Amino acid sequence: RTLSQALRMLGEREEAGREAQAWMAADPEAPALTSPVHCGGLLDLPDQTDHERRERLESAWPRCRTFPVGSRERMMFVTRLSQVRRATGDPEGALAVSGAEDAAVAALPNLDPTLWSDWTVLKAELGLTLAALDRHEESAEVSAASIRLAERHAGPDSAFVVGLLRVHGARLSDLGRHDEAQAALERAWTINQRLGDGRIRSEDPALLFNLGANAMEAGRHQDAIGYWERCLEAMAGSGQQDHTHYGITLRLISESQRALDDFAGATETASQAVAFLELRHPKRTDLRSEAEFAYCLALAGLSSDRALSHCRRGTALAGESGTRSPELLEKGRQAEIEASGLLER
């Protein structure tokens, strides 16, 4: 049990889940469903789907909600439940728990000051949930509040603040407030380099990814490509080259290359994204479909007769993508229209 808790605190959730599972197998009386720590650990077992994870947590919620408002156990559990509801296409259900819990904690006359990090993580999840509901202004306000909370307790130049600034930058970018987003992300970058004590990489892939995304949204495609190429290098250097974000980053580089009319470069990069996701993440049909659409449009820019076949392949994958299918099918329809226009020129 203690090993499971320690692994979870270190971010090793899959290992934490395995240890929790072993503990329950050894002790039939283990209160797994009444302990948010172990519910959280089990949530990340690699052989579970999001829906299975949600089922487990939903069954535990009536018991876990008896924990006091403002306790670490309850905030941890609510955060995980909100995450898994959002992951299964139910952001309204996620908001019902994370929004209510955040308001309840804020209304407490005295919150244990040692629990600020748990509340900050809950707020960050609430911000993501609001963004999933396209309530971006509110999401940005909540993410700004989470930064203020972390600054008050951890200091303005802490590693904790770096992660929150990265999320806040993404929210501002969603709102089209690109200068503010750039300022937030550059501040995170400055803090990141100043830490210099091994707590966080100076070339942080997640931060580079967000800097690239903001540059792309602002129309600065060459800058975006530069950030994303450094992101790929940082991922490879930190052993993350098999992560789904490696394939996503390749696709985004291709899209920026296409925006710069570099169709040959876009075709080469999109083909790498398609091959990588098919080999490493064959079940992520949502990501694979987006890569196929990018490949289709890049080929169309070269007047290749293979272009539309990749649009059709992407559409077939989109149909297998669960809750994202409607969005991706529409994206495929638009890609086919654009590709047909390019081929007719």
| Mean residue pLDDT across the chain | 85
Q: What is the pLDDT of residue 193?
A: 76
CA distance 3 to 69: 26
Residue with tokens 């407490």: 108
pTM value surpassing 0.85: no
Q: What is the pLDDT of residue 10?
A: 57
Q: What is the pLDDT of residue 78?
A: 94
pLDDT for 181-232, tens place per residue? 999 999 988 887 776 554 444 578 888 999 999 999 999 999 999 999 999 9
pLDDT for 113-127, tens place per residue? 888 889 999 999 999
Q: What is the pLDDT of residue 45?
A: 53
Q: What is the pLDDT of residue 33?
A: 43
Q: What is the pLDDT of residue 19?
A: 66
The b-or-e profile of 242-278 (16+ CB within 10 A means b, else e) is: eeebbbbbbbbbbbbbbeeebbebbbebbbbbbebbe
Residues of the chain with pLDDT under 70: 1-48, 195-202
Task: Find, among 240, 237, 301, the residue nearest to 269 by Cα.
Answer: 301
